[in-house]
Structure 1
Amino acid sequence: MYQPEPQSMTFSTLISDIDKGIIKIPQFQRDFVWTINQSAKLIDSILKGYPIGTFILWESGEELRSIKNIGGAELPPTPIGSKAQYVLDGQQRMTSLYATLKGLLVQRETRKDNFAELYIDLEAEEDGQLVVTDIEDRNPKEVISLRDLLEGDISVLIEYPKSYHSKLTDYKNRMNTYRFSTILLRDATIDVATEVFTRLNVGGKSLTVFEIMVAKTYDASKNFDLSEKYDDLLTRLEQVEYETIPESTVLQVVSTILVKECTRQHILRLEKADFIDVWDEAVDAIERAIEYFRNYYRIPVSRLLPYNGLVVTFAYFFYHHKSKPTGYMRELLDDFFWRVSLSERYSSALETRLGQDIKRIDVILKGELPKYDLKLNVTKDLIINNGHFSVNRSFIKSILCLMAYHEPKSFSDNSVVRINNSFLKQANSKNYHHFFPKAYLQKQGEDMFYINHIVNITIVDDFLNKNIIRAKAPSEYMKDFVEQNSKLRETMKDHLIGDLNEFGVLKDDYETFFEKRAELIAEELNKWLITSKSNLVETM
């Protein structure tokens, strides 16, 4: 059990320890936001001997990512052989004291605050406001800056009238002898320290695992800054439209590679050296997994991916299998991908299920079929009963991925439809088109469940959707495309729509269209699944 140690320190010790790099402000602390007026009240309380709260410090030999600059003042690294003391509570007060004594000019978003402009009013009564910031109409010999009071030599002080000398001496003594209350938490683990931080900041935002790991894995000697590394990765992923992969997914990849689990506890327990050493290979595995999604499954953008968790399992696979899978191994991966997606497996208990599925990937890596605890029977009825169109559901995204795999073309000229991440945030995306337009079906009295259904969705370009088709009946707008597009039959196959007559399109027969397209979607999905009963009998 970690026992906190009550301690105290003087103003000079506090400032000296910051200057020497002993006391550090971890990067997960919020920005310094206190104003000069708040700092004035703080100094006023110190001069009057009031308690100002306790500084809580965590002493650790771990090198965390910490703030290196305050108002232009460079903060040095912790001396070799010394342990850093990281501020868990009291950062605003401590930074305010430091900025005031150093007279720092702190840049804000819309202004600059000059913390040198804090003055002690030598005319103020003891129960009045001793510290002021506005001295525009004051006699300069009636006020003294805090810096001059504490750091000025005798030549500065004798410039003031003798009537103030006793006050100057008294105020300087009060500042120098004030004991700042501190509690030192020695050698606690980073997860304990960050839990303390979170509980102390009850009204604030809890630290994410990523924020903690950014602090924990920072290593200046190896030029490793997780925050910068992640930004670099996102920059590369943005070039292939997979920039929505979150921080948590990247941490889960590293953790599963190292320990085959990825709960919060497992991630926080990862050794710093191991994390840094495996980073480049983990990133390479992520990029190869994404390349596989894009080129083999033809999922062009990350918003179509049923789950980010699939990046974790596939990156784990590619970390251990450097080449592209072929033959039966590829079929095993296909079965895994679509089984996870269609069963909505990662909609809850993600970390636990990723741990289970890493074991399944290990089986696939051996070229064997893993055991699954869910029987997945993809039928027309499954598509119909679960097909309400909501872009956040993995079942729907799975079918959208199937549509993307067939590389849908424009109805008008058979040109490629470009799918964009920015267009796919919601169900009314520019790329999503109700083949039987909603307005048309509503006029026919069709139930909204069947109107706004994945079976009625096609992926088209924005111009076609908004400017040509609009609310027209399919028989009306498709006749125009028959004349414009000599390859329309092939175009419709790419949209998983068969012969226009057989599918009831030219007769505006929505029931026939709905049934036949649901059947075709189920048929296409089953091509990706291994239907052997032998892999459906055990729970992992």
Structure 2
Amino acid sequence: MSKLGTILDQIDSGTVLLPEFQRGYVWNRDQVRGLMRSLYLGYPVGALLVWETEADHGSVRGTSKAGGGIKQLLLDGQQRITSLYGVVRGKPPAFFEGDSAAFTGLRFNVDEETFEFYAPAKMRDDPTWVDVTELFVNGIEPHIGKLSADPATMPHFATYMGRLIRLRNILEREFHQEKITGADKRVEVVVDIFNRVNSGGTKLSKGDLALAKICADWPEARSTMRKHLSTWSTAGFQFNLDWLLRNVNAVATGRAQFEALEGVGSADFAQALSSSERYISGFLDVTSGRLGLDHDRVLMGRYAFPVISRFLHLNGGSFTDATQRDRMLFWYVHAALWGRFAGSTETILTQDYETVARSGIDGLIASLSRWRGGNLVIDGQDFEGFGRGSRFYPLLYLLTRVLGARDFGSGLELRAEMLGHLTSLQVHHIFPKALLYKHGYGRSEVNAVANFSFLTQQTNLAIGKRAPEDYFAETQQKHPGALESQWIPTDPQLWRLDRYREFLAARRELLAEAANGFLASLRDGTKLAAEPLRPVVVVAEEDDDIRARQIKALVEELTAAGCAEPALDSEIADPATGRVLGVAEAYWPDGLQPGLGNPVILELDANPDLPRMEELGYEVFTSVDALLGYVARRNEQAAGRSEDDDHVGPDGSTAEDAAPTHDPASATVPAQAAPGGTGADFDRAMRHLYVAARDEAGYNATLFLSMLAEHGSISTAKKLLASPVVSDGFVALWERGRLDLTVEALVTRPEFEWLFDPAELEVARTRLQQFEYETR
């Protein structure tokens, strides 16, 4: 047993450390708050698992004060002890890796005995809200004067002092420690123990284990790898440690399994890492200069890189000539397009390593062709994907860069050296989003890859929301050939909104023809490379799409709650076939918190293969509201505020989401309420929104219905307005051009304004005005 205060002192002295194989800190604020609440109330918070070993600098993290001798390495309890250290000391421990905001700014209310994080409007100048870190750092004395001098708190002074003493006394709390000792307890044994006891926490990958063993022999391994990752990040490409380690493994052993690195000494590993960095950087130069794939969003087929690294290593470190390089590019693009490395990565990599060792690039191309049933040809239907997460979005960008696509406004090729200071490109919706939504087209059609082109930012802004039948004719007159250079069908009849689907079909065929021609030239060596393409900047679109704004607000809300940053517009492919299962608006591959829970997918568009996704172990949410509700319930449980054991389904639904027993559709639909409408009037009007949305706009707002049944009309409206993210219902009604049927529109009606405070009305008006709906 050890007191908490003693454990924190041992961290300060460098005798309690973290093993290098541990991942970083992943807790969120609600988990920290729940831990402090449990300690304050005297609830159990679990034992610690410690590995006692004569650690060296390569096997531990946070060694700035560590000397020789036996150290205690935290195996189970890192998140709890790190949180407590951060709250008590006001800073993270030396071994910290993560977001310190999770434990910064915690306050304790001496009146209500609750913990919350600092909110200025609520807590400023209120002496009942005590800074927890200040209490531990400076003691109780500073609070004596504050609480005794305030007329509101003075009558309760003795009670409040007792509560502060009780809170500070958690430093005396005894933590039970299980210890692993013995010379036979090597890193791999301890990691196995860690994974067994930590079944509900952060699991270590095979890559983590391999790297832990390497760091024991070469302490600088992890930091050297991170430097390489940082260099690529600065150049605009984001990779992770596992990915780099796969490249090193390919070079050092020619094996896909990380276990193969067990036999690689530190000197050989360092050499393989140096070679891998050179191969990767060189191929990034090739993909940028030859294919125009010059930034992270369009970099295809990341797991083809280890195969290329292996080939270059066997080939003396470089391509023999331009023909060999282009044939590798042909294989690389097709491997990416057809999802060669979508799953079962180690199995596929093993096959390709064996192929490349036996028969080089020709063997890789032949093997990929067999895997594809002999078909390495792109069909127009292959461009039916939508969004920037589609694997054919990078191909559109590639064609734009390498085949001399021209700007509609200037007529110049979209090359950095030709555009001069106008080098910023932007994704352009050929048929404007607003017009398509207005005419009833769905989001997947609006954001079809075949509706994208790349233009200079200046031209994109100048075109604005004009229809193609307007600005295409102008472009054709001023810059003959510019439309054809962007694979635009030249039949003016296809430029009309009512012929939009035919336009997409025709353009897909043109894109496929161009792609096949260019890729064949790479394979056959018939198109010599010009000067390497210089990178251009692709700037983000303006957030005039309500879904884009909703997802942005969601990500901001979830990251503030301690969730990981998701990948946006991410394609989800079947690991067995490479088939696209869906394009996720947001994707958390390591769980909402890194290493905790299953991968999470937010997929809002129609027809994703949900059964297959769930079979593969994904937690799939099909609405923003469901995901936010799931996170809120999870965080409430983490904070100890919820004893609700209701089952949460993969889509975030609970028993509460079931439809109410009565049917609001049968409620009387009121006429326009008179000024000064009552709460009953508002209730009838809210139920009318459901009926009208269903009958007039074709939107069945089942979640809204259940909220009305559970919370009542006014509380439902207040909950929707309090959310930092607009609801799925607001988005659906915007897409249908019926913002008049939103709760936001209803609460701003003069007869109902009095039911809401000014801040709530401002939220409602702002949301509506953002999308050009005039409030009364």
- Give me the TM-score of the superposition, normalised by structure 2: 0.46
* CA distance 1:482–1:217, change in 2 (3 Å): same
Match of 1:3 in 2: none
Work out the CA distance in 2 between the residues paired with 1:393 and 1:363. 33
Work out the CA distance in 2 between the residues paired with 1:441 and 1:98. 54
Alignment of 1:461-540 (within 5 A): 461-474=456-469, 476-485=470-479, 488-489=480-481, 491-497=482-488, 500-501=490-491, 513-527=503-517, 528-529=519-520
- 1:57-91 C-alpha deviation (Å, 9 max, x unpaired): 1647775442436xxxx532445xxx765331355
Work out the CA distance in 1 between the residues paired with 2:26 and 2:492. 68
Alignment of 1:345-384 (within 5 A): 345-363=340-358, 365=360, 370-372=366-368, 373-377=371-375, 382-384=379-381
Match of 1:76 in 2: 66
- 1:330-353 C-alpha deviation (Å, 9 max, x unpaired): 343133113212222222222321
SS in 2 for 1:460: strand
SS in 1 for 2:463: helix
* CA distance 1:448–1:218, change in 2 (3 Å): closer
- 1:77-111 C-alpha deviation (Å, 9 max, x unpaired): 445xxx76533135578889999xxx988567458
Asked whether 1:26 is paired with 2:40, we answer no
Alignment of 1:209-228 (within 5 A): 212=209, 215-218=212-215, 224-226=220-222, 228=223
Work out the CA distance in 2 between the residues paired with 1:471 and 1:515. 21
Work out the CA distance in 2 between the residues paired with 1:135 and 1:250. 54
Work out the CA distance in 1 between the residues paired with 2:242 and 2:218. 23
Shift of 1:446: 7.0
Work out the CA distance in 2 between the residues paired with 1:374 and 1:274. 37
Match of 2:288 in 1: 294
SS in 1 for 2:19: coil
Asked whether 1:388 is paired with 2:375, we answer no
* CA distance 1:96–1:185, change in 2 (3 Å): farther
Shift of 1:385: 5.3
SS in 2 for 1:431: strand
Structure 1 segments of 4+ aligned residues over 6 angstroms from their partners: 8-11, 13-22, 32-35, 37-42, 92-99, 113-119, 133-138, 442-449, 506-509
SS in 2 for 1:432: strand
Give, as a single letter, the amino acid of the residue that structure 2 aligns with 1:237.
W
- 1:263-309 C-alpha deviation (Å, 9 max, x unpaired): 45456776555333322221111111111110111112121122221
Shift of 1:248: 2.5
Deviates further, 465-474 or 261-270: 261-270
Asked whether 1:306 is paired with 2:293, we answer no
SS in 2 for 1:218: helix
Unaligned runs of 5+ in 1: 1-7, 120-132, 139-144, 148-170, 420-429, 533-540
Which structure's CA Rg is the greater one?
1
Match of 1:152 in 2: none
- 1:353-372 C-alpha deviation (Å, 9 max, x unpaired): 12222233335647666433
Work out the CA distance in 1 between the residues paired with 2:441 and 2:291. 34
Contact 1:431 1:462 in 2 (8 A): yes
Contact 2:429 2:451 in 1 (8 A): yes
Asked whether 1:330 is paired with 2:325, we answer yes
Alignment of 1:8-87 (within 5 A): 24-27=17-20, 28=22, 53=47, 55-57=49-51, 59=53, 64-68=58-62, 74-79=64-69, 86-87=73-74
Contact 1:25 1:66 in 2 (8 A): yes
Selected match of 1:190 from 187, 203, 214: 187
Shift of 1:384: 1.8
Contact 2:293 2:397 in 1 (8 A): no
* CA distance 1:94–1:57, change in 2 (3 Å): farther
Give, as a single letter, the amino acid of the residue that structure 1 aligns with 2:19.
P
Deviates further, 334-343 or 55-64: 55-64
Contact 1:432 1:458 in 2 (8 A): yes
Shift of 1:253: 0.8
Work out the CA distance in 2 between the residues paired with 1:231 and 1:278. 15
Shift of 1:252: 1.3
Work out the CA distance in 2 between the residues paired with 1:98 and 1:521. 58
SS in 2 for 1:357: helix
* CA distance 1:503–1:355, change in 2 (3 Å): farther
Match of 1:316 in 2: 310
Work out the CA distance in 1 between the residues paired with 2:83 and 2:444. 59
* CA distance 1:212–1:59, change in 2 (3 Å): same
Match of 2:256 in 1: 262
Work out the CA distance in 2 between the residues paired with 1:523 and 1:442. 29
Match of 1:408 in 2: 405
Contact 1:298 1:404 in 2 (8 A): yes
Work out the CA distance in 1 between the residues paired with 2:199 and 2:512. 50
- 1:116-148 C-alpha deviation (Å, 9 max, x unpaired): 8899xxxxxxxxxxxxx979999xxxxxx999x
Give, as a single letter, the amino acid of the residue that structure 1 aligns with 2:487.
L
Shift of 1:410: 1.9
Match of 1:201 in 2: 198
* CA distance 1:454–1:363, change in 2 (3 Å): farther
Work out the CA distance in 1 between the residues paired with 2:452 and 2:170. 70
Match of 2:455 in 1: 460
- 1:194-242 C-alpha deviation (Å, 9 max, x unpaired): 34324433443334556555544436x966151x334422432234322
RMSD: 5.4
Give, as a single letter, the amino acid of the residue that structure 2 aligns with 1:352.
T
* CA distance 1:39–1:289, change in 2 (3 Å): same
Work out the CA distance in 1 between the residues paired with 2:429 and 2:200. 45
SS in 1 for 2:256: coil
SS in 1 for 2:181: strand
Work out the CA distance in 1 between the residues paired with 2:252 and 2:465. 52
Shift of 1:508: 9.0
Contact 1:65 1:225 in 2 (8 A): no
* CA distance 1:114–1:259, change in 2 (3 Å): farther
Match of 1:89 in 2: 76
Selected match of 1:397 from 394, 399, 410: 394
Contact 1:54 1:181 in 2 (8 A): yes
Alignment of 1:139-178 (within 5 A): none
Alignment of 1:102-113 (within 5 A): 109-110=104-105
Percentage identity across paired residues of the two chains: 17
Deviates further, 500-509 or 83-92: 500-509
Contact 1:58 1:193 in 2 (8 A): no
Give, as a single letter, the amino acid of the residue that structure 2 aligns with 1:294.
S
Match of 2:227 in 1: 232
